[in-house]
């Protein structure tokens, strides 16, 4: 039986944002495919999730353990970091309490694979090497420095952005260094796989998209659809999501609302910034906390994903397709999802084209319905979680026998 230690920088349950969905669904997929799993996670102040809310069955089957830490950024920490050579993005995830728990776990068990969820947990690679002979695999949710490069390219020059540019140079250096320290990389998209290869990674690499329980997503609750609603749904404490929602408001919404006066735009997600909460625009609704994500998806009509920066995979698009939503996205938003851009979702990068696509869907119910059916069928074919993770298990067995 394959024995895997999965370590992450965010508690995965409840799976209510992209990264926690990716971590939790991976854990569940490994368990469902007969892997003996140990899940060790940092439970941060920013994304705190109480251990007593985690289902007992999942706790038992994943040997779930969390270690609390406040990893929030702060002015003092940011200033002090200038006198070091490490990236502040990375260094705040390294602390003794987690390292000690990691050492205990490694000393008490013999693992075949240690799967690191994201680049920030790579700060523990040397510790893992010292206490385990397991293969170390980076599951790369994104290419982190690419997110900031894209954001800074779209931003005006400022003192803050100069500081972020310095931090991103350090982050890129760290990200390149760990390529030589891991035994394999599991990117979430083929696009990121190619980028890692271009960065010089020559060891084993295997793309594994984030899967979902498609059947559960498509089990409707029978809630009434709110007509002519457009929605953007994501973790709003993530910079690319803020940037995307603002771009849509600034560049698309006026044209859409002028052409379809009864259209409504809903911005929803946890960690909503004050500047969004204070918006006072006609037919624009801001929801800070969505209590029932499934009900939210079912009740709203058209999903928009106008991302300008970011890397990896947008889990909300996978969810949207699994729910059978008509989706309009930028190329970056849909990156890594290899579906038909005219049949399964609509891709538009210019504001004029993006607005036109949304207007067409608002005014043409038949086109909406066709996209819904195609998205749903594509999700069933490509995103079933157990089958997705089974392919990764086969890769791990090959890696161990190489």
Place of tokens 């997503």: 217
Does the pLDDT at position 107 exceed 90? yes
User: Half-sphere exposure of residue 19, counting CA atoms within 13 Å on the CB side?
Assistant: 22
> Do both 242 and 263 map to the same domain?
yes
Residue 372 has a CB neighbour count (10 Å cut-off) of 17
* pLDDT confidence of residue 351: 98
Does the pLDDT at position 298 exceed 80? yes
* pLDDT confidence of residue 261: 97
* pLDDT confidence of residue 310: 67
pLDDT by residue (tens digit) across 77-96? 777 787 788 888 889 999 99
Total number of domains constituting the chain: 2
Rounded CA separation 135/116 (Å): 11
* pLDDT confidence of residue 55: 97
322 and 383 Cβ atoms separated by less than 8 Å: yes
Strands across the sheet containing 264-268: 284-287, 264-268, 229-233, 302-305, 327-329, 346-347
- Section 65-79 average pLDDT: 87
> Do both 135 and 223 map to the same domain?
no
> Do both 71 and 163 map to the same domain?
yes
Range of the domain at 232: 215-382
332 and 309 Cβ atoms separated by less than 8 Å: yes
* pLDDT confidence of residue 223: 93
> Do both 37 and 49 map to the same domain?
yes
User: Out of 53-57, 150-154, 199-203, 339-343, which region has the weakest mean confidence (pLDDT)?
Assistant: 150-154
Rounded CA separation 113/183 (Å): 10
> Do both 160 and 231 map to the same domain?
no
Rounded CA separation 222/243 (Å): 33
> Do both 193 and 118 map to the same domain?
yes
pLDDT by residue (tens digit) across 307-348? 998 666 788 899 999 999 999 999 999 988 888 888 999 999
> Do both 142 and 27 map to the same domain?
yes
Alpha helices in 132-189 (DSSP H): 144-153, 159-178
- Section 224-250 average pLDDT: 94
- Taking alpha carbons only, the member of 314, 315, 333, 328 closest to residue 368 is 328
260 and 364 Cβ atoms separated by less than 8 Å: no
> Do both 288 and 205 map to the same domain?
no
The answer to whether the bond into 14 is cis (omega within 30° of 0) is yes
Specify the pTM.
0.83
> Do both 364 and 389 map to the same domain?
no
334 and 303 Cβ atoms separated by less than 8 Å: no
* pLDDT confidence of residue 312: 62
Share of the chain above pLDDT 90, in %: 75
What are the E-state strand segments in 179-236? 184-187, 204-205, 229-233
- Taking alpha carbons only, the member of 46, 127, 138 closest to residue 92 is 46
CB-neighbour burial class of residue 86 (10 A; exposed 0-12, middle 13-18, buried 19+):
middle
- Section 186-197 average pLDDT: 92
Does the pLDDT at position 36 exceed 90? yes
* pLDDT confidence of residue 25: 96
> Do both 233 and 122 map to the same domain?
no
> Do both 198 and 225 map to the same domain?
no
* pLDDT confidence of residue 160: 80
> Do both 91 and 167 map to the same domain?
yes
- Domain CATH for 103: 3.40.50.2000
Higher local confidence (pLDDT), 159 or 395? 395
């Amino acid at each position: 039986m394959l024995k895997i230690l999965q370590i992450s920088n965010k508690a995965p349950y409840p799976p209510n944002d992209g990264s926690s969905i990716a971590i939790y669904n991976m854990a569940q997929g490994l368990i469902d495919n007969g892997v003996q799993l140990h899940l060790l996670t940092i439970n941060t102040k920013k994304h705190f999730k109480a251990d007593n809310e985690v289902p007992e069955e999942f706790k038992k089957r994943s040997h779930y353990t969390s270690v609390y830490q406040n990893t929030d950024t702060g002015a003092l920490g940011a200033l002090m970091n200038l006198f070091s050579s490490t990236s502040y993005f990375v260094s705040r995830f390294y602390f003794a309490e987690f390292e000690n728990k990691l050492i205990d776990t490694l000393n008490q068990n013999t693992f075949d694979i240690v799967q690191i969820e994201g680049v920030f947990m790579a700060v523990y690679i040397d510790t893992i090497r010292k206490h385990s002979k397991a293969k170390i695999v980076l599951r790369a949710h994104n290419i982190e420095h690419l997110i900031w490069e894209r954001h800074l390219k779209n931003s005006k020059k400022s003192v803050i952005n100069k500081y972020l540019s310095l931090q991103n140079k350090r982050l890129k250096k760290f990200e390149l260094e760990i390529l030589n320290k891991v035994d394999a990389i599991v990117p979430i998209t083929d696009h990121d796989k190619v980028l890692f290869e271009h960065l010089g990674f020559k060891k084993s690499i295997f793309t594994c998209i984030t899967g979902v329980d498609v059947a559960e997503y498509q089990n409707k609750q029978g809630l009434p659809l709110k007509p002519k609603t457009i929605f953007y749904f994501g973790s709003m404490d993530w910079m690319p999501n803020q940037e995307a929602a603002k771009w849509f408001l600034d560049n698309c919404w006026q044209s859409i609302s002028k052409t379809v006066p009864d259209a409504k735009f809903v911005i929803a997600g946890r960690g909503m910034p004050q500047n969004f909460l204070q918006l006072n625009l006609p037919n624009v609704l801001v929801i800070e906390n969505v209590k029932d994500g499934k009900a939210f998806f079912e009740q709203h009509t058209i999903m928009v994903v106008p991302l300008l920066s970011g890397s990896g995979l947008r889990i909300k698009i996978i969810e949207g397709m699994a729910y059978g939503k008509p989706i309009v996205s930028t190329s970056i938003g849909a990156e890594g999802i290899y579906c038909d851009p005219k049949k399964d979702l609509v891709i538009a990068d210019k504001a004029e084209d993006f607005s036109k696509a949304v207007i067409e869907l608002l005014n043409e119910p038949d086109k909406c319905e066709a996209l819904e059916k195609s998205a749903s069928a594509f999700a069933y074919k490509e995103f079933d979680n157990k089958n997705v993770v089974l392919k990764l298990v086969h890769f791990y067995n090959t890696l161990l026998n190489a």
